[in-house]
Amino acid sequence: MPTVLEGTLEEIVQQHPELSGKRVRVYVLESEEPAANLRDFLGAWVGSIRVPPTLQASEVKRVFEELLHEKLERTSD
């Protein structure tokens, strides 16, 4: 499970020297205010989908991949 750190880049680098040399992913937040909780942090990425129980696993995977692709396209614009 990845570790979630929040703060300015300077604060994170100063407070977590053990990250030196490790791969990281950085999300730049729109707001100066820290997120109150994980749901606020993830925003539009939080949700659920409903699929008919009659779908095979491969069909469920295809539906999920299509939805994820659409979500990624919208957020990259």
| pLDDT by 10s per residue, the chain, length 77 | 677 888 888 888 888 888 888 888 888 777 667 777 777 777 766 677 777 888 888 888 888 888 888 877 776 65
pLDDT for res 12: 86
Residue 6 contacts residue 14 (beta carbons within 8 Å): no
Give this prediction's pTM. 0.38
Domain limits of the chain?
Answer: 1-46, 48-77
pLDDT for res 39: 72
pLDDT for res 75: 65
Residue 64 contacts residue 57 (beta carbons within 8 Å): no
What b/e readout covers 28-53, taking b as 16+ CB neighbours within 10 angstroms? eeeeeeeeeeeeeeeeeeeeeeeeee
Token pair recorded at residue 33: 């205010």
